[in-house]
Copies of this chain bind each other. A is one copy, B any other.
Amino acid sequence: MNITDKKVLSFIHSDFEDLEFWYPVLRLTEEGVKVYIAGEKANETYIGKYGVPAVSDIDFNEINPDDYDGLLVPGGWAPDKLRRFPKVLEVVREINRQNKPIGHICHAGWVLISAGIVKGKKVTSTPGIKDDLQNAGATWLDQPVVVDGNIVSSRKPMDLPAYMKAYINLLKE
Contacts and interface: CB of A to CB of B under 8 A. Distances in A.
A165 interface: yes
A160 interface: yes
Interface in A1-47: 18-19, 22-23, 26-27, 29-30
A26 B157 CA distance: 9
A83 to B, nearest CB: 25
Contacts of A19: 18, 22, 26, 52
A50 interface: yes
Label chain A's interface by main secondary structure.
helix
A74 B160 CA distance: 19
Residue from A19, A26, A50 whose CB has the most chain B CB atoms within 10 Å: A26
A86 to B, nearest CB: 32
A120 interface: no
A41 B153 CA distance: 34
A18 B164 contact: no
Contact of A26 (B18, B48, B50, B160): B160
Contacts of A161: 26-27, 29-30
A163 to B, nearest CB: 9
Contacts of A116: none
Interface of A: 18-19, 22-23, 26-27, 29-30, 48, 50-52, 160-162, 164-165
6 contacts: A18-B19, A22-B23, A29-B161, A30-B161, A30-B165, A50-B50
